[in-house]
Each structure stands twice: as C-alpha cells, then as structure tokens.
Amino acid sequence: MDVIVCVKHVPDAETRLRAASNGKWIDPDGVKFTVNNTYDEAAAEEALRLKEKCGAKSVRVVTVGPPRAEEALRYVLSMGADEATHIETPADALLDPLTVARLLAGVIKTLPHDIVMVGKQAADDEAGVVGSALGALLGLPSYAFVTELAPDAATKTLKMHRYVEGGEEHFQGPFPAVISLLKGAADPRTPTLPNILKARKKPLTKVSLADAQTRAQALPGAPASGAVRSFALPPPKTGAKMIEYQTPDEAAEKLVKLLREEAKVL
Amino acid sequence: MPIGFELTAEQKELQALAAKFAKEEMAPRAAECDKKGLFPEDIYRRAWELGLMNLNVATEYGGSGLALLDQCIIAEELAAACGGMTTSILANCLALQPINLAGTPEQKERILKPFCADYHLASFGLTEPSGGSDAAALKTRAEKKGDHYVLNGQKCFITNAPQASLFTVFATLDPEKRDKGITAFIVPRDSPGLSIGKEEDKMGQRASSTATVIFEDVKVPEQNLLGKEGEGFRVGMMTLDSTRTPIGALACGIARAALDHAAKYSLERTSFGKPIAQHQAIAAKLANMAIELEASRLLTWRSAWLVDHGHRASLESSIAKCFSSDAAMRICDEAIQVFGGYGYMKDYPVEKYLRDAKLCQIYEGANEIQRQVIAREFLRRFA
C-alpha cells in the first residue's frame, strides 16, 4: 500500500500580511511561511500512521509551489515520510486550486498510489477544492472531511469516520481513493532533531512546471477555472468602546449595562 | 571563501524546531517555574526526546552531533522562552564535553552511549565552596589506591546535581602541584559516598536546580579516569573554551525576549497623546538595546564559527560570553525601564529576564575571569 500526502506551504498564522501591489494576493515579501497548515499536518500525521500501524509500504509527500515550498516537504520528511516530490512553480505564480489539482493529478498518476491524503482545505486561500478535484481527475472516489480511517488491504476497503451536522457518521468505501482530512486521530508529531538531520538525505524529486503541465494534458476535461478579481485585507476593526471607571465594580456595572442595552447579548 | 550569515536550510529547520518547543512547551510554564522554583522534569524529558539535549555528543554515541554554531542557534531560541530551563537543558553539553574531549572510545561506548540512549542528566563538577575562578587551587582530593581512586571533598553551585545520574568531577592528586595535579573523573551518581547537599534558592534561573555535591571516600575505578593523571586542568579549560560560546547565545535569547516585550509595549503604551516608542528617550533606549543584541549575536556566531573551523577561540569565546552577558543585563534593565512601574511587578515578564540574565555574567567563568583571559590573549600579540 503506497500512500501519498499532498501539502501546501502557507503564510504563518502570526505573520503580518499586506496585500500585493497587483491586488490579487498577499505580498510575500517579508512574510514568514510555515511548513504546513493544520489540516495538511493532520493528513501527514495520518499518512505516517498508515505506515506505522497499518503496514503501508511508503509515504510520499507532494507539493505544488515556489522554491521556498521545499521547506514544507522537508518538514514532512522530518516527520517521517520516505520521499518527496516538488512540482516547482515560479515564485510569482498565482495558481487557482483547480490548476493545482491538475498538476498534482498529472504527477500522482505516474506514481504508485493507493491512498492519497490531503488536508480538507489550505489555511491561506481556504478553497477546499483540491481533494475533490483530485478524485475526479484521477478517476478515484474521494471522501471528504474524514477524521478517522482504517484500511483493510485484503478487501481494499476503508472504514472511515466523520462529523456531520448534529452527529457522527461511520462509513466505508473502496480504495484507491482520495481522502481529505479534517483532523487525525492523533496530534501531528513534532519532528525530532535527529530526524531533521536524517530528512536531509531523503530523496526529493523536482518536477518542473512545464513537465507537470505536460503530464496533466492527458487528464480528463480542462474546465475553465475561476480567477481572483481582487484581494484585500479585512478593514481594521472599529467601534471598540473604552469604559471609563473609578472602581472595578463600576467598570463591571457599566460593562453589563452595555452588553445588555447596546450589544443586546445578555 | 566568502563570509556568509545566511543560515542553511538545515539550520533554519533546527531553529524552527527549537522555537516551536520553546514557544509551545517552555514559555507557558516559565513564570510558574520561576515563582515556585520548580524543576520541570517533563519539559527536560521532552527536550531529550526531541534531540535537544546532548547536542555536542557524536551521533554514534546517541547524541545530536551538532556544530557549535548550530548549538548556539538552538540555545538562543530556547533561552528566549526561559533562561533557567535552557541552562538545565544545556548542562549535559557542559558535563559531557570532558568525555567528548578526553574519553577513550571504550569510555564513550560504556558510558556515553547508554547515557544518551535514555533521558538522563549529567553535572559538571569543578567549582568548590572556596572558589571557582581560581580553578587550579581546587581542594577536592583524589588518592590512588590500587586499581581505583578515592575522592574526598565538595563541589558547589552544581547545575542539575539533585537530578543528575552522572558527574564529571575535577580533583587534585597533589595540591602542591596546582594545575598539574588536577585530574578528571567520571563518577556515577550511585557511587557510595556521593551525596547531594542543600538545593540552592536562587535569585533567577529558578527552573534550573543547583546544589552542592559531597564526596566522602568515593571510590572511582581506574577505568573512569578521564585522560591521564594531571591532565584534568587542561581538559577542564578546553571544555570551557568550547561551552562558553553557547552562554553568549543563551544571553542573547534572554535579551531578545526582553527587547521584544519592550518593543511591543512601547508601541501600545501611550503618554502625552502618542505611543511611548515615539518619544525620543524611549526610541533611543530601544535602538541601543537592538544595537547591543545584534553585536552580541555576531560575536557569538563568529566565536562558534572559529571553533567549528578548527581555530583556537579562547579570546573570541571569552569576548562573546562576556559582552553578550553584560549586554543582556543592560538590555533587560532597560526593558524594565520601558515598562516603568509595570516592569518592576512580577505580573509582567521583564523583571524575570534581568534576574535570569545575571547568572550569565557569573557562571562558566565569571566575567572578571573572562576579561583576564581577554587581556592576556590580546596582550600576547604585543609581548
């Protein structure tokens, strides 16, 4: 059983963002990018557990992104993945999620894959498209928002769990398949120092954008994708009200009054 | 070859690991451990699990096998969360360095390997109640008796001593011989006659433990002699030459945390209708703090670079340790001043940094001794 996990290099949640001058995305200059967003890290952890607990043969991590995105691959290699593939795009390329899914699918098609894992959405553009699109492009079932999974290699069946409105769902389906993770059964591990050093020696294959595009041509249909018209940061918050007071009791009293009469939340 | 300051991708990953551990696991507990003088053993165990503990031990013996510059990068990140915890985490590097330098392959196999294979703490035993700076005058006696040595005496201010399972100890075979009589030994905690005295109640770095170690007729087998008889002083000095630089990095970490807090506060706190950072008196303070931190880090990195490239760096490591720890005291002092009355209160984090930074001027060679070394090394060029 070969497992592939797809991750995205995203801006760190604590970094300060500015809109880029072209008004289409953030200005990446001076932005600290983090290795992975929460959902991708959960997918990586779950992929590694498939190897450790369910006898998967190998875990390969794949990303589409500029040269800096290699960091994300190294991180997942440090967590314990065996190999990495980097579909390298120019630093200023702005790719829509469907294009990303096509590039991934074109390359994944040429690699052994029984289970393809992705985070349910990226932490930056929050599109949530890649998982479902990958399934369609690869001609595989895709299971979304999964929180637990247990493969049975003999019957090629996955038993899965997810939360649905007002309850929980246990379901099953065949694999090979694409699975998008909401969260995993365990917190994502922190790579240890010796594993960081070992990860440097693990194989990392680069695939050029042109090469990936060629491979993607053979995929079914090429629907037109949406494009970003404009991007802006949320306007600064206004309307904060400072309470003037002499004693804590007075402050509490004024606060309760405001919450009750103005905000009407009490 | 050109000089470069860009960290390698690997160094950035090590830095990110240390920063993550510092932020998520050390920082949230720092204030409580400081207040109550707690020794957070679970955090130290986790540091070992992540490979952040035996940084200078070769990988073949189960350590992380890092260059000194990499150790410094990690030390700064950890210390930005808690100076005391960092001291306890790095204490193994100090205690094990005599074995790295003078141990035989047999000793490394027999002692280092099982030590590093699990969570263990070690302590470096040089300082004594009657003095630390004049190391050649130490009083702990070692006597050769057949196939073993017998140790008698006391070591004080020993980091991690209450929890340590292994000690590297410096004792004299003949006090008359001063430095030529000093000999180094590896002493397991369970050696009969070895006991731990009172645990010190310290001004700062209170998450680290410090105690006296007492030797009463402690038998040490010949196999645990480090190097040859009379080589101990040289082993001790070589150890300190290579572990002094990370103290500079540790001071940088404490100072960086103080400066970060002061900078953020200066942008939030207003007086006379504007953030205090816009008042020249405060802006100049912050600028001076930034200058001193930058200089400290560059001195530290250069010293580490020299050691990593096989150069003797007694002068540069003393400069790095001395300047960075003095600078950290000034930076932490000014951080309190930026916070005003709030800075003096224990509800705010900055007063702790000053108490933690103070120890960096004292341990691993007091700054007075560093200046003596610096002057001696420097004057040699003119003699």
3-state secondary structure A188-257: CCCCCHHHHHHHCCCCEEEEEHHHHHHHHHCCCCCCCCCCCCCCCCCCCCCCCCCCCCCCHHHHHHHHHH
Structural domain containing residue B285: 234-379
For testing contact with chain A, the best of B50, B60, B74 (most A CBs within 10 A): B50
Percent of chain A at pLDDT > 70 equals 98
User: What pLDDT is stored for residue A18 in this prediction?
Assistant: 83
* B185 located within any domain: yes
Q: What is the pLDDT of residue B126?
A: 95
Partner-chain contact B59 A194, CB within 8 Å = yes
In a domain, residue B243? The reply is: yes
Least reliable range by pLDDT among A55-59, B81-85, B298-302: A55-59
B275 and B359 together in one domain: yes
Q: Which of B67, B87, B117 is the last residue of a domain?
A: B117
Asked whether residue B1 is assigned to any structural domain, the reply reads: no
Residue A7 has pLDDT above 70, yes or no: yes
Final residue before a domain boundary, out of B117, B142, B176: B117
- A215 and A110 in contact (C-beta within 8 Å)? yes
Single-letter amino acid, residue A19: A
**Tokens, residue A186:** 């365990």
Using alpha carbons only, give the angle B304, B306, B310 rounded to the nearest 5 degrees: 115
Residue B319 CA: distances (Å) to CA of A118, B259, B308, B369, B376: 51, 22, 17, 11, 12
Phi, psi of A4 (to 5 degrees): -120, 135
Given a cut of 60, is residue B1 above it in pLDDT? no
Residue B2 lies in a domain: no
Residues sharing a CB contact under 8 Å with residue B42, sequence separation 6 or more, in sequence order: none
Q: Which residues of chain B make contact with A35, given a CB cutoff of 8 A?
A: 16
What is the pTM for the complete model shown?
Answer: 0.88
Residues of A within an 8 Å Cβ radius of B: 35, 70-71, 74-75, 78, 190-197, 200
By the 10 Å C-beta count (0-12 exposed, 13-18 middle, 19+ buried), A247 is classed as: exposed
Q: Can you give the pLDDT at residue B66?
A: 97
Nearest beta carbon to residue B50 from set A71, A74, A192: A192
pLDDT of B179 reads 92
Residue A55: pLDDT band with limits 50, 70, 90: confident
pLDDT at B135: 83
Burial group, residue B279, by CB count within 10 angstroms (0-12, 13-18, 19+): middle
* Nearest CB to B64 within list A70, A74, A193: A193
CB contact under 8 A, B59 and A75: no
pLDDT at A34: 77
pLDDT in tens, B111-120: 999 999 999 9
Residues of A in contact with B9 (CB under 8 A): 70-71, 74
Picking from B179, B202, B228, the residue at the C-terminal end of a domain is B228
Nearest chain A alpha carbon to B19? A190
Do residues B250 and B364 both lie within one domain?
yes
Q: How far apart are CA B147 and CA A201, in angstroms?
A: 47
Residue B237 pLDDT class (50, 70, 90 cuts)? very high
Does some domain include residue B129? yes
Q: Are residues B103 and B163 in the same domain?
A: no
Most B CBs within 10 A among A38, A193, A201, hence the mutation to make, goes to A193
Peptide bond into A176 cis (omega under 30): yes
In words, the CATH class of domain A2-217 is: alpha beta
Residue B57 to residue B342: CA distance in whole angstroms: 43
**Same-domain check for residues B248 and B368:** yes
Give the closest-approach CA distance of B243 to chain A in angstroms. Answer: 20
Average pLDDT over residues B98-121: 97
Nearest to B17 among A71, A196, A200 (CB): A196
Nearest to A193 among B9, B12, B52 (CB): B52
CB contact under 8 A, A194 and B51: yes
Would you list which residues of chain B are within 8 Å, Cβ to Cβ, of chain A? 9-10, 12-14, 16-17, 20-21, 49-52, 59, 64-66
Sorted by where each begins, the domain ranges of chain A are 2-217, 238-266
Looking at the fold, whether B176 and B68 belong to one and the same domain comes out as no
Q: Give the three-state DSSP class for B50.
A: coil
Residue A70's pLDDT is 94
- Alpha carbon B196 to chain centroid, angstroms: 21
Look up residue A51 and give its amino acid: K
**B109 plus B147 within the same structural domain:** no
DSSP string, A196-210: HHHHTTS-EEEEEHH
- The total of structural domains in chain B comes to 3
DSSP state, B165?
S
Q: Please report, as a single letter, which amino acid is at residue B223.
A: Q
Q: B-chain residues within 8 Å CB-CB of A202?
A: none
Q: How far is CA B363 from CA B206, B236, B307, B368, in A?
A: 14, 14, 20, 11
Show the tokens assigned to B91.
Answer: 């204490």
A contacts of B65 (beta carbons < 8 Å): 197
What pLDDT does B35 receive? Answer: 96
How far off is chain A from B344, nearest CA to CA, in Å?
A: 23
Q: What's the pLDDT at B356? A: 98
Q: Please say if the pLDDT value at position B57 is more than 90.
A: yes
- Percentage of residues in chain A with pLDDT exceeding 90? 61
> Do B208 and B287 belong together in one domain?
no
User: Quick one: pLDDT at residue B2?
Assistant: 66
pLDDT computed for residue A221 by the predictor: 74
Identify the pLDDT of residue A244.
86
Task: Identify whether the C-beta of residue B250 lies closer than 8 Å to the C-beta of residue B90.
Answer: yes
Kindly state the average pLDDT of the residues A95-122: 93
Cβ neighbours of B16 in A, within 8 Å: 35
Report the chain A residue with the minimal C-alpha distance to residue B20.
A190
- For residue B136, the model assigns a pLDDT of 86
| Contact pairs from chain A to chain B, CB under 8 Å | 39
Distance from CA of B249 to the nearest CA of A (A): 19
- For position A36, what pLDDT does the model report? 65
CB-based contact A200 B64, cutoff 8 Å: no
| B176 occurs within a structural domain | yes
Contacts of B52 in chain A (CB under 8 A): 193
Neighboring chain A residues of B119 at a CB cutoff of 8 Å: none
| Reported confidence tier of residue B20, pLDDT bands at 50, 70, 90 | very high
Pick from A71, A75, A196: CB nearest B14: A196
CA distance B34 to chain A (A): 26
Mean pLDDT lowest among A116-125, B164-173, B325-334: A116-125
- Mean residue pLDDT of chain A comes to 90
Average pLDDT of span A159-188: 92
pLDDT exceeds 60 at position A72: yes
Q: How many angstroms away from the CA of B152 is the closest CA of chain A?
A: 39
Q: What is the rounded average pLDDT of the residues B310-325? A: 95
Together in a domain, B348 and B287: yes
Q: Given a cut of 90, is residue A231 above it in pLDDT? A: no
Cβ-Cβ contacts under 8 Å, B14 against chain A: 193, 196
- Asked whether the beta carbons of residue B13 and residue A70 sit closer than 8 angstroms, the reply is no
Q: Sort out which chain B residues have CB atoms less than 8 A from A195's CB and list them.
A: 51
In a domain, B4, yes or no: no
Question: What residues of B are annotated to the active site?
Answer: 364
Region A82-106: what's the mean pLDDT? 91
Cα separation, A17 vs A166, whole angstroms: 36
B242 and B221 in one domain? no
Provide the residue type at B261 as one letter.
H
Q: In this structure, what are the phi and psi dihedrals at residue A113, rounded to the nearest 5 degrees? A: -155, 120
* Res. B38 pLDDT band, cuts 50 70 90: very high
The pLDDT value recorded for residue B349 is 94
B376 confidence band (pLDDT: 50, 70, 90): very high
Of A35, A74, A195, the CB nearest to B9: A74
Q: What's the gap in Å between the CA of B112 and the closest CA on chain A?
A: 17
- Are A191 and B17 within 8 A, CB to CB? yes
